Amino acid sequence: MSIAQFSAPVAGLPKSCAEIDALAVNTIRTLAMDAVQAADSGHPGTPMALAPVAYALWQRVLRYDPADPTWWDRDRFVLSNGHASMLLYSVLHLAGVNDFDRSGKPTGRAAITIDDIKSFRQLDSRCAGHPEYGVASGIETTTGPLGQGAATSVGMAMASGWLAARYNRPNFELFTHRVWAICGDGCFMEGITGEAASLAGHLRLANLCWIYDNNHITIEGKTSLAYSDDVPTRFRGYGWNVMHVSDANDIDAVAINCAAARESDRPTLIVLDSHIGWGSPNKQDTAAAHGEALGVEEIAKTKRFYNWPEDAKFLVPDGVRERFAEGVGKRGAAARAAWSATWGSYRTKFPAEAAELECLMRHELPAGWDGDMPTFATDAKGVASRVSGGKALNGVAKRVPWLVGGSADLAPSTKTLIDGAGSIGTGEPGGRNVHFGIREHAMGAICNGMALSGLRAYGAGFLIFSDYMRGSIRLSALMEVPVTYVMTHDSIGLGEDGPTHQPIEQLLSLRAVPHLRVWRPGDARETVEAWRQAMLYTHGPSLLALSRQNLPTLAETETKAREGCARGGYVLTDCGCNSPQVILIGTGSELALCVSAQKQLTEAGIRARVVSLPCWGLFDAQDAAYRESVLPRAVTARVSVEASAAMGWERYVGISGSAIGMHSFGASAPIAALMKKFGFTVEAVVAAAKSQVSRS
């Protein structure tokens, strides 16, 4: 097909350039329309409206090599309003982005083919309804829940600054990349975006730019139904540089403002005025706004408006792919080649730093990484697992310098400061302690962004406030990125702060999240092993639920915790034979209760086994023979003990077993009074065990 047949002029460019640029923009638009129509599902309006913006950003601004989308110093592009996914898929296809697997090896195919686009939103398609990280190269993060992409981009920008601070040297600038995100009204209504923007402004993340699609439309109608924020003023208050583009179709203006953002000493917000479904004869098209296919008749009208053949589907005219190759392809290849030459010289001049960096980017751990993990003596008084967890964190940090994180204003309580490592602050990107402020939800998303950039990120808070960050934790798991969440004050054992701060249902609900490994270690040694396993687990996040109160360091864990925790659960103490009459299963602070109860049961002539089950998910992943050796099916008399919701423990104690747990909210009182009131005593465990034995 000839260029002239399907193009319309774009002001400000020579005619030949205007024609091919307009053709490319309209190709993005029509691919979105056709894909949504074929699927009879999706959002065509925003991709149509933002096609010129994405084109301007990729063609004229983005530092990105489609031939190597894993290049360390590529600019990151995040589509935070993920319902506009066809915008991203179309650009990845037209730019000719190559596909690499998660280990960084080329697969020999394109990231997004035209056949992938034709199967938009279908089973096993690379073009899912919302962009999913790991499905195809070029998708830098999973977006869908509004605001998550924007908040994640803050973590990416922080990671870029951190990598530059640690590894760049004079005349050897390995990390200079920027992070670009497109966001919509829905993103800006969500609280997570405000949290993240506030921190980004405080840190003056000059390498971050958000483009705000100010189209005044959401699913229910005009944004004026529920939203009247003065967004530019709000962001100026956050400390951002704010610019304005009055017409989303003005490619020149978009490119000029993006270029200006590069010169800012603060994060930049570009407020972009657009009309959803632009180009259609009905500029505020209802279907486009509401996430529906336009329909055959409306598509025909719109293609006619574009001077496009009405019956053509999934058409990519001659010259469009070539235009992308001349723009982002050629520019990106040159930038990557220059970077590769710098990297080659860097490896020669700074071999130790280069080796460390290669280890980081391969998502590996350095040799002897756990050589400074703490050890603990058997101690009846013991320590709180938040304290032993802090020591384990610092042990890891000594040999894994890219372990970076912090808490939501709770470091004195969560014990999660890295000693002597400095803080990431305004103009100081190279510290290792992040002060997230009281921004739990953004903290989780920012950790995701850092992890997606190669860092081993952690975020900390009270377990009860995992509710405030659930969306971010869920996306960590969905993307299978190794963020570590350190959640302390893990039960009613926190005491006097009362039921608003005492987690009840949180462990159960978190254990239900696929790929998330939830740990509730029973003493200091198990806590060290939980940290060890969290660092070794690279295909998903880990959450460590740690205590405020002291936990006895049990004699039995000295020889059993390491191997046992590596399997998620193990026999802590047995009855001297392989035929126990009852099995006591405990986690966290209640593990010691089980050990004490076993001693009383032994004195009463009852053979009891104590099983420690600090990580359900890892235990369930073991082979059947191992699980049977720990929890033999023949022993039906079982008691679980955990100061959390009892629901879910039927999985291990069976229908007839006894689950000592919480069936209500907690109360405000000292810990001893709480434990007695809610039945977490040795006497209660012994009574439940005897009852089980009498019925078996």
In one-letter notation, the amino acid at residue 665 is: F
What helix, strand, coil percent values describe the chain, rounded to 5? Answer: 45, 15, 40
Q: Mind telling me the catalytic residues?
A: 440
Q: What angle do CA 165, 168, 173 make, to 5 degrees?
A: 125
Rounded to an integer, what distance in angstroms lies between the CA atom of residue 690 and that of residue 34? Answer: 68
Rounded to an integer, what distance in angstroms lies between the CA atom of residue 23 and that of residue 55? Answer: 11
Which residue, 209, 213, 215, is CA-closest to 241? 209
184 beta partners: 213
Q: Which two tokens stand for residue 399?
A: 């040999």
User: Which H/E stretch holds residue 163?
Assistant: helix 148-167
For residue 683, give every residue at least 6 positions away whose Cβ sits within 8 Å of its Cβ, in sequence order, or none: none
Cα separations (Å) of 659 from 39, 439, 629, 654? 48, 35, 21, 9
Rounded to an integer, what distance in angstroms lies between the CA atom of residue 162 and that of residue 182? Answer: 23
Question: Could you tell me the sign of the dihedral formed by the alpha carbons of 212, 213, 215, 218, in that order?
Answer: negative
Count of H helices and E strands in the chain?
Answer: 27, 23
425 beta partners: 428
Which residue, 381, 384, 364, is CA-closest to 526? 384
In one-letter notation, the amino acid at residue 588 is: G
Rounded to an integer, what distance in angstroms lies between the CA atom of residue 101 and that of residue 107? Answer: 6
Rounded to an integer, what distance in angstroms lies between the CA atom of residue 600 and that of residue 556? Answer: 17
Q: Residue 609's CB: how many other CB atoms inside 10 A?
A: 26
Q: How many residues does the chain have?
A: 696
CA atoms within a 13 Å half-sphere pointing along the CA-CB vector of 369: 21
Instruction: Characterize the bridge pairing of strands 217-218 and 221-222.
Output: antiparallel
Could you give phi then psi for residue 522, rounded to 5 degrees?
A: -95, -15
545 beta partners: 487
Contact 106, 100 (CB under 8 A): yes
Could you give phi then psi for residue 69, rounded to 5 degrees?
A: -75, 0
Could you give phi then psi for residue 209, rounded to 5 degrees?
A: -140, 125
217 beta partners: 222
Contact 450, 476 (CB under 8 A): no
Strand order across the 268-273 sheet = 76-79, 179-184, 208-214, 268-273, 241-245
Rounded to an integer, what distance in angstroms lies between the CA atom of residue 292 and that of residue 43? Answer: 6
Contact 168, 354 (CB under 8 A): no
518 beta partners: 543
Which residue, 250, 295, 188, 193, is CA-closest to 49? 250
Contact 641, 685 (CB under 8 A): yes
Contact 186, 85 (CB under 8 A): no
Integer-rounded Cα radius of gyration of the chain: 28
